[in-house]
Amino acid sequence: MKNLIQADLENLNQKTNHWIKPTLKMVFSPIFASFFNRLLLYPIETVITLQQKDNVPAKITIQNLYKSLGFFGFYKGITYPLIMGIPSKIATYGVYYAFQDKLLQQNRFSIVTMNLISGTVLGCIDAILICPVEYLRIRTIAGLQTQYKLANLYRGFIPGLINGILGGTIILAGSDYIKSNLPKKMQDHHFSSFIAGSFSGATYLFLSTPIEVLKTKIITSDLKRSLWFYINSTVNEKALFSGLLLRYLRGGLSVGLTISLIKITNQAIDNVIPNIPEKNITENSSEPFVFSRKK
């Protein structure tokens, strides 16, 4: 009887290990990383948005914002990314790592190709989910009226899609590639994730800043003009790289923190729920959570 109970407990542990661990990694890790990241760095994001909208130096933007709304003005519009942004991060980061695992199992792609495919899929999903959040956040920060029609919520979708694909391929795929090329001793250290993430994040921020400025201009404008009109007006204003330095500050920290926190949380989950060899799983068990009965 004791052996039967022990076997059933092992079977229960194996099956919960098989389902719970991936779920925790897909859900809890991105939630923790995204929430902490947003709370810490959101004031910088607010200043960047206003700076890109008005093409005004950061110092003047900070002074005007503090005079008009005080400290909490820097957290204006944070509700939308906290409530809606976290589920999107679960989907994007979760799908990225799940998709990457599937490609690894097939063993048909090189690491670079696998990362590019996973990153592109991530970018497309991210753009679809994040675009409405960005519309609401940016309009709220700018003090503009928000309209909940689908066409309005997806204003700036094309720049958002381009940035999403760039982000997916350069940030996550790029950081994984950089980390894989670091010395073996460094790869096992959490600081390597921060280094790789920050370096790839800095590259992404430089390439994506003009697209981000364009997206902000489109969202904060009520004019229904072509994409080329906004590109031309942004170039004429010499605002393509508006907010770049602050984006470097926020983005480098954000990417490094997010990737490091996800890796650390995933490792903590692995430590709490150790791997159990799947060969010990009882086959043909239709009731995995019910103890065996002595016949």
Give this prediction's pTM. 0.66
Q: In this predicted model, what pLDDT tens digit does every residue of 120-175 receive, in sequence order?
A: 877 788 788 888 888 999 999 988 888 888 888 999 899 989 988 887 778 766 77
For the residues of 21-90, what is the DSSP string, one character each? HHHHHHHHHHHHHHHHHHHHHHHHHHHHHHHHHHT--HHHHHHHHHHHH-GGGGGTTTHHIIIIIHHHHH
Residue 293 lies in a domain: no
d(CA 157, CA 126) in angstroms, rounded, equals 11
Q: How many CB atoms lie within 10 A of CB 262?
A: 23
d(CA 255, CA 263) in angstroms, rounded, equals 12
Q: In this predicted model, what pLDDT tens digit does every residue of 43-57 receive, in sequence order?
A: 998 999 998 888 888
Q: What angle is formed at CA 254 by the lines to CA 246 and CA 125, rounded to 5 degrees?
A: 110
**How many domains does the chain divide into?**
1
Residue 63: pLDDT band (50, 70, 90) is very high
Residue 256 lies in a domain: yes
d(CA 223, CA 213) in angstroms, rounded, equals 16
Q: Where does residue 45 fall: left (phi above 0), alpha (psi -120 to 50 degrees), or beta otherwise? A: alpha
Q: In this predicted model, what pLDDT tens digit does every residue of 251-278 receive, in sequence order?
A: 767 767 777 788 888 888 888 776 655 4
Predicted pLDDT at 275? 60
Q: Which domain range does residue 31 map to?
A: 2-278
- Identify whether the C-beta of residue 167 lies closer than 8 Å to the C-beta of residue 126: yes
Residue 265 lies in a domain: yes
Residue 136 lies in a domain: yes
For the residues of 227-284, what is the DSSP string, one character each? HHHHHHHHHHTT-TTTTHHHHHHHHHHHHHHHHHHHHHHHHHHHHHS----GGGSPTT
Helix, strand, coil percent values for the chain (each to nearest 5): 80, 0, 20
The residue to which tokens 């923190």 are assigned: 257
Residue 284 lies in a domain: no
| Ranges 81-85, 86-90, 264-268, 277-281, most confident | 264-268
Query: For position 27, which CATH number holds?
Result: 1.50.40.10
280 pLDDT above the threshold of 50: no
Predicted pLDDT at 62? 93
Mean pLDDT of 86-113: 65
Residue 294 lies in a domain: no
Two tokens at 108?
């048909």
What's the mean per-residue pLDDT of the chain? Answer: 76
